[in-house]
Amino acid sequence: MRRCCDGSPTQMDENRNMNMWAFIFLYIVGLHTCQVTEKDPSTQMYYAKLTIEKSAIANITNKLTPLVDDSCTVDNIQRTTTCKPVSAYTECTCESGHKWGDNVCQFNEACCGSDTCTFPQDSAHMCVSKTSVSVEGSFTMTGLDFRDCLADEMSQGFQNCNKQFLDEMKKVYSTLRGFDFLKITKYRIGSIVADFEMAIAYEVNSEDLINKSQILTIFLNASLHLETTGEYTCAYHQRSTSYDIAHKASAVMDVALLPIIHITTVPSFPRCQSTDDLAVLGKCEIRESIESYTVKWTSQNTEATIIPLKPDEPLEETVGYTAQAVVGCHRMPHKPQLTCTFHNRHNQSRKASVDINIIYVGDKFCRAEGEWKETKAGFTAVLKCKNTVGQRRRKCNDSAAWEEEVEVCVNVNVTNALQQASMVDIGVGLLDENVADLFSRFQNITNETEAINTFSNVQASVDVLVVLGYKLNSINNDTTVDDLLDSSSNLMAKSLAKSWNGTVEGNLSLAETYLGCFEKLIAASNITANNRKTNIEVDSCNKERGSICTNTAFGVTVKFDSADSGTVKTTGIKQLGKYLPQTDKKYKLNSIIVSTTAETKQLDSVKVEIDFKLERERPRNVEIKCVYWDNTTRQWSEDGCEWSGPWGSGGRCICSHLSSFAILMAREPIELAGLSEITFVGLSISVMSLVISLAIEFTVWSAVVKTNTLYLRHLAHVNISLCLLLADCCFLASSKPQNISETMCKTLVVLKHFCYLSMFFWMLCLSSTLLHQAVFLFHIVSKKDYLRFSLILGYACPLIIVVLTFLLCNGGTESLYYNSDTCWLVYNGLFKGSLHSFLVPVGIIVFLNVFSMLVVIMKLLDHPKSTETRCEKERMAAKTIMRTVILLTPIFGVTWIFGFGVTFFDLSSGDLASVANYAFSLLNSFQGLFILLTTCLGDTQTREALLNRFQKKVDSSISESSTKLDTT
């Protein structure tokens, strides 16, 4: 064992008589010292190998404490090997996570690839960790403190220098967990270069290794070149019921990097002004790297002379290698080309080529403009982005005119995050730690939305999620999951809305790419509780067989029912729906996107019930669709989903599969085929019919109002026709609301509201008169009293209703009193909206009119039994009922009963609503015609008076003609 306090090594007796022990256990013991030096404040750590008998296992720490100084602590005791005596040998077995080291394999090849190995009785070896790491590196010292290390190895100066240098390194590196050994392999000239090797028994924490190395470089005033290598093992098994053969091989992997090369020519488009040769500079740029490359230049399709130049000084983390080529100005069948090839230390190579696009004499080109240099027609000029990564492009079209600049520049931090994402699983460091570190940085990067508010930056950010979506099968760290949700939510910020417009490779929209990779990451994440961010909320539940799983995201409730069990996750995503492509412009998204995934991938049957909160309230007769995102058609699809209402403030969807769901709402209300045409034709005919009806009334007025009863009835007919005529004209004037002003729309709504109400109140006056006459046969009402009563009921009552409604709706405010899309009153549901100031009075009046009509019919049927036979009575009764219904239905407004069906039945609810709409339009648009037919042409007295009027005119004309004839 090595004593830790003074650093002097002592060896425990490992060769005791093991025949006395049934088992022997070998341990790695970590010994820490609290000794602090002025030069190095870090705690020193040493590791010792301990052989112990089974009976002494209990409370090992207490047994070891007396062996060390009080300033030292003992921890991290790990059992590596178990040994037991077998005949004349010792059989040792490696514990889990350990293996036989290279020295054992060289001593006994049978031990390689096997956990158990046999040794001579008087010796035993210890297994090493499977995650051990070898480190090679070199320190370059610029000072003279260690110049004696270049002296002869046998000299005292070398011995002192070497010990001093080694001690300083051990003070720092020995504090690494699992530190095994460190040795200086040689010293070289180049200032003073010390090559060293170090072994670490466990996985090395890359950040810890970097931090220790930085401390050492500062103390030694040196620069460091470091390489870590890990040992990789592959195994091939042959198994059957009778044997199991394992073939294993292991090797140390030394990875040498190859660069990403950006090659250009300077100038990009060399222009020939004569036949003289041109000097063109070829330039290959790579990111600054610790790799040492050999660069070679070649040329193709040209007689160019290549003159390699020295590498440029590093600039903005890049290194440039240049070469000068001399090319001719005579046209060649193929474009001249330059190629640079980079070779690493393993003689692996990567090349990049660039065409030399020469502007020959007579060629069209765009002249220099600001930063943009001369560019050949039909080609695109390229500039490096300023303070970012990427390119700016500007095309010189075939007409030698500059087009608009296209910028593809990415924030440096986003670029670094993307590169880090591509390397999280290459074997350097633990995957979980790499991912945790990446998402922590990525969350901070995306939180600065102003710095990434371009399409290129958002695309690169989404690419980070895409790469991780392919690489990660599970994310179990809660902090990592939280950072994932934070960064994904940041990308959905409203301030980035304009940066989401564009397509990526394969013509996929950026939103589609985001949705696909985000669903993968959520499925891989261990989420057990509700996680809410600004634009993303995730909820999960653990479904047991026979139970229903309920999740909530942004107020959207999702119920999942399936025979399978497992974790069910629901994710609500704001803003994303605005960026997904939608070819059907008749519909627009009216909800957030809700994605539901289940732990069980293959589900036999599933029922997903989603209660959405609509972002915009659904207007009447506007169709709603429950949809999911179909990755095959790249569109919203209704397959397997149906909407089950309610039609008001929410929307319930029931789907038979898992996906990302949303609600689409039609931009325009449903239009029934031919309904508008029926309405326009009917209203036009009604207007003409009402004009004729009023003309007839004025023509025969003196002839038909000879009694009070007839006066009262015809007065009502005239006012009903007049109100309906004005209302129909206003309806026709507002039939296309988009073509009239808002003020005109509001005015027409007020007029229609008043005129239609006034029509119904005059209908009530008429029905009241007929009811009074039918019940009180001998009671006579004076014209003056009836006129006063009718004017108050027919005009004052509707006026009061309209004025009160207008004032209560904040002075006729749009969406409160009227709807500008329909130029009519507002209906927001049962007893909600200004339309009820029309529906309630009309409903009461129609009810009273129907009651009056029934009383009139009953009175007409009530006559002496002896007047006719029974059959004749039934026949006359049927005629009387039919005639009364035909005559009174239009003038009493009974057909408006269908209007209640139009109001309460939404067109998206089924065929009943369509029948009600057609019936209402057919009956009420022709109401003026029906009034003409029933009150004028269908009334015997009016018809006779009209005929007499015409007859008198004819007789008067004939008489006048005869008189003139006699006179002559």
Of 134, 133, 131, 104, nearest to 120 by C-alpha is 104
Q: Is the dihedral of CA 221, 222, 223, 227 positive or negative?
A: negative
pLDDT of residue 737: 87
pLDDT of residue 238: 63
Tell me the mean pLDDT in the region 685-691: 92
Of 892, 891, 796, 903, nearest to 840 by C-alpha is 903
pLDDT of residue 151: 80
650-655 and 45-53 beta bridge pairing: unpaired
Q: Is 491 helix (H, G, I), strand (E, B) or coil?
A: coil
C-alpha–C-alpha distance, residues 713 and 719, integer Å:
10
pLDDT-above-90 percentage for the chain: 20
Helix, strand, coil % (nearest 5) of the chain?
40, 30, 30
- Is the distance from CB of 90 to CB of 118 less than 8 angstroms? yes
Could you say which DSSP state residue 2 is in? B
Q: Is 867 helix (H, G, I), strand (E, B) or coil?
A: helix
Confidence of residue 166 (pLDDT cuts 50, 70, 90): confident
Say if residue 911's pLDDT is above 80: no
Q: Which of 30-44, 167-181, 304-318, 872-886 is the least confident region?
A: 30-44
Amino acid identity of residue 886, one-letter, is: I
- Is the distance from CB of 449 to CB of 458 less than 8 angstroms? no
pLDDT of residue 795: 93
CA dihedral (718, 724, 727, 731) in degrees, to 10, reads -150
Give the up-direction half-sphere exposure of residue 394: CA atoms within 13 A in the CB hemisphere.
Answer: 21
- Is the distance from CB of 673 to CB of 914 less than 8 angstroms? no
CB-count burial class (<10 Å; 0-12, 13-18, 19+) for 425: middle
Confidence of residue 503 (pLDDT cuts 50, 70, 90): low
Say if residue 1's pLDDT is above 60: no
C-alpha–C-alpha distance, residues 620 and 896, integer Å:
19
Confidence of residue 443 (pLDDT cuts 50, 70, 90): very high
Average confidence score pLDDT of the chain: 79
pLDDT of residue 962: 45
What pLDDT, in 10s, does the model give residues 915-958?
888 888 888 888 888 888 877 877 778 888 888 877 766 555 55
Tell me the mean pLDDT in the region 541-549: 78
Say if residue 216's pLDDT is above 90: no
Confidence of residue 393 (pLDDT cuts 50, 70, 90): very high
Confidence of residue 38 (pLDDT cuts 50, 70, 90): very low
In this structure, what token pair is assigned to residue 823?
Answer: 């130029």
CA dihedral (428, 431, 434, 435) in degrees, to 10, reads 150
Confidence of residue 889 (pLDDT cuts 50, 70, 90): low
Tell me the mean pLDDT in the region 61-80: 65
Count other Cβ atoms within 10 Å, centred on residue 261. Answer: 18
Give the up-direction half-sphere exposure of residue 707: CA atoms within 13 A in the CB hemisphere.
Answer: 6
Of 237, 240, 212, nearest to 224 by C-alpha is 212
pLDDT of residue 41: 39
Q: Which of 68-72, 284-288, 501-505, 636-640 is the least confident region?
A: 68-72
Say if residue 248's pLDDT is above 70: no
Residues making up the chain, counted from first to last: 968
In this structure, what token pair is assigned to residue 86?
Answer: 């077998």
pLDDT of residue 521: 92
In this structure, what token pair is assigned to residue 522?
Answer: 């959520």
What pLDDT, in 10s, does the model give residues 860-880?
666 555 445 555 544 554 454
Say if residue 429's pLDDT is above 90: no
What pLDDT, in 10s, does the model give residues 229-244?
666 566 665 665 555 5
Cis peptide before 267 (omega within 30 of 0): yes
CB-count burial class (<10 Å; 0-12, 13-18, 19+) for 644: exposed
Show the 3-state SS of 251-286: EEECCCCCCCCEEEEECCCCECCCCCCEEEEEEEEE
In this structure, what token pair is assigned to residue 889?
Answer: 């239905």
510-524 helix and 478-490 helix, angle to the nearest 10 degrees: 170
Helices (H) and strands (E) in the chain, counts: 21, 39
Confidence of residue 400 (pLDDT cuts 50, 70, 90): very high
What pLDDT, in 10s, does the model give residues 773-813?
777 765 676 778 888 888 899 999 999 999 999 999 988 88
In this structure, what token pair is assigned to residue 694?
Answer: 């009023």
pLDDT of residue 633: 86
CB-count burial class (<10 Å; 0-12, 13-18, 19+) for 697: buried
C-alpha–C-alpha distance, residues 569 and 469, integer Å:
17
Who wins on pLDDT, 764 or 968? Answer: 764
pLDDT of residue 903: 73
In this structure, what token pair is assigned to residue 588?
Answer: 């627009």
pLDDT of residue 13: 36
C-alpha–C-alpha distance, residues 928 and 923, integer Å:
10
In this structure, what token pair is assigned to residue 222?
Answer: 């040196």
Q: Which of 205-214, 318-327, 443-452, 491-500 is the least confident region?
A: 205-214
Phi, psi of 56, deg, nearest 5? -100, 10
Tell me the mean pLDDT in the region 300-312: 61
pLDDT of residue 913: 78
Helix (H) / strand (E) containing 120: strand 116-120
pLDDT of residue 152: 80
Residue 42: which residues within 8 A CB-CB, separation 6 or more? 171, 172, 175, 212, 215
Q: Which of 45-59, 561-575, 764-778, 926-940 is the least confident region?
A: 45-59
C-alpha–C-alpha distance, residues 459 and 442, integer Å:
14
What pLDDT, in 10s, does the model give residues 140-163?
876 656 778 878 888 888 888 888
pLDDT of residue 447: 92
Alpha helical stretches, state H, 195-271: 206-220
Q: Is 786 helix (H, G, I), strand (E, B) or coil?
A: helix
Say if residue 99's pLDDT is above 50: yes
pLDDT of residue 57: 65
C-alpha–C-alpha distance, residues 63 and 57, integer Å:
9
C-alpha–C-alpha distance, residues 839 and 916, integer Å:
16
Distances in whole angstroms, Cα of residue 290 to Cα of each of 140, 252, 257, 443, 882: 14, 20, 9, 29, 104
Tell me the mean pLDDT in the region 453-466: 92
Q: Is 337 helix (H, G, I), strand (E, B) or coil?
A: strand
Tell me the mean pLDDT in the region 305-314: 59
Straight-line distance from the first to the last Cα atom of the chain, in angstroms, rounded to the nearest whole number:
160
Q: Which of 103-107, 247-251, 838-842 is the least confident region?
A: 247-251
Say if residue 599's pLDDT is above 50: yes
Cis peptide before 646 (omega within 30 of 0): yes
Say if residue 246's pLDDT is above 80: no
Q: Is 233 helix (H, G, I), strand (E, B) or coil?
A: strand
Confidence of residue 8 (pLDDT cuts 50, 70, 90): very low
Confidence of residue 75 (pLDDT cuts 50, 70, 90): low
pLDDT of residue 16: 36
Alpha helical stretches, state H, 705-782: 708-733, 742-775
- Is the distance from CB of 718 to CB of 690 less than 8 angstroms? no
In this structure, what token pair is assigned to residue 121?
Answer: 């009785």
Show the 3-state SS of 91-109: EEEECCCEECCHHHHHHCH
Q: Which of 86-95, 561-570, 889-898 is the least confident region?
A: 889-898
C-alpha–C-alpha distance, residues 775 and 758, integer Å:
26
Of 601, 593, 478, 600, nearest to 543 by C-alpha is 600
pLDDT of residue 867: 47
C-alpha–C-alpha distance, residues 866 and 141, integer Å:
139
- Is the distance from CB of 679 to CB of 687 less than 8 angstroms? no
Give the CA radius of gyration of the chain. Answer: 48
Alpha helical stretches, state H, 776-904: 783-791, 797-808, 836-861, 870-892, 897-904
- Is the distance from CB of 720 to CB of 891 less than 8 angstroms? yes
Q: In what side-by-side order are the strands of the sheet with 379-384?
A: 379-384, 389-396, 406-410
Distance of CA 1 to the CA centre of its chain: 61
What pLDDT, in 10s, does the model give residues 359-382?
998 899 999 999 999 999 999 999
Q: Is 289 helix (H, G, I), strand (E, B) or coil?
A: coil
Residue 634: which residues within 8 A CB-CB, separation 6 or more? 508, 512, 581
- Is the distance from CB of 355 to CB of 310 less than 8 angstroms? no
pLDDT of residue 51: 72
Could you say which DSSP state residue 796 is in? I
Q: Which of 353-362, 488-497, 501-510 is the least confident region?
A: 501-510
Tell me the mean pLDDT in the region 516-545: 87
pLDDT of residue 877: 46
Amino acid identity of residue 279, one-letter, is: A
